[in-house]
A and B are shown apart, each in its own frame.
Chain A
């Protein structure tokens, strides 16, 4: 079980360094997703399965999709098709694919390892997290909803199209 942690940590470090060193935004986004997935595996190994699922669903899923949408919206133009063809080349996918394959092998190892792998490690169950979240931390839930509403309103306000003369267009 320790080896799983160390390998996942190495994958996380390598992919994160690749994120900040790539010049193409799409490549670095791929490596960022790999980094998030490896951190999710680390969460699972450390006994936080609920948080591992949240990391995959919300971070690697929803937030990264926002990034992909933005990158694609900023790249409108005739050269997009050529770029698209370039991105589909094998070289671009090789690095992230290898790292993800390592993570996949680790995940299969953990899942098929059986219950004896869990020994010596305390799992904080989703039930405990939920009881604490809606018990002493219930105010945090309310504040989170207000924060998300604020983010929604701000994103909608900023996302409107503006004409050259500064007048705002009706959505």
Chain B
């Protein structure tokens, strides 16, 4: 039994999404966009896991995706709380405002 879509294509899609998120993380200076890019990258990693799990017909890939979702939830909660604190301190969302390491 073979998958109807080649596994390589799913992996290529995951790589494309991951690279887009990485470029966004490196290019944008707004901390909100950087957090969104991180979400894209996490999602792409999860996609790679599910594609691999679908290739070998095993549930392990899906379980890894669940862990990634859990991690992403915790990360977003902490990250958004940090963004609120950041905005109250600096009145901006530009990460270059926080380059002194002194709150």
Contact = CB atoms under 8 A, between A and B. Distances in A.
Contacts of A43: 47, 50
Interface in A122-171: 122, 124, 128-129, 131-133, 137, 140, 144, 147-148, 150-152, 154-159, 161-162
A46 B2 contact: no
A56 to B, nearest CB: 11
A32 B35 CA distance: 12
B74 A150 contact: yes
A128 B82 CA distance: 38
A169 to B, nearest CB: 12
B95 to A, nearest CB: 14
A117 to B, nearest CB: 9
Interface residues of A, number: 64
Contacts of B1: 120, 122
A86 B2 CA distance: 49
Contacts, number: 179
A116 interface: no
Interface string A1-18: 110011001001100110
Interface string A24-53: 010011001001100100110111101100
Q: Is the interface of B mostly helix, strand, loop or mixed?
A: helix
20 contacts: A12-B17, A16-B40, A35-B43, A47-B3, A48-B54, A51-B50, A51-B65, A54-B65, A59-B72, A63-B73, A66-B77, A129-B59, A133-B66, A147-B71, A148-B74, A155-B77, A155-B78, A155-B81, A159-B84, A161-B88
Interface of A: 1-2, 5-6, 9, 12-13, 16-17, 19-20, 25, 28-29, 32, 35-36, 39, 42-43, 45-48, 50-51, 54-55, 58-59, 62-63, 66-67, 69-71, 73-74, 120-122, 124, 128-129, 131-133, 137, 140, 144, 147-148, 150-152, 154-159, 161-162
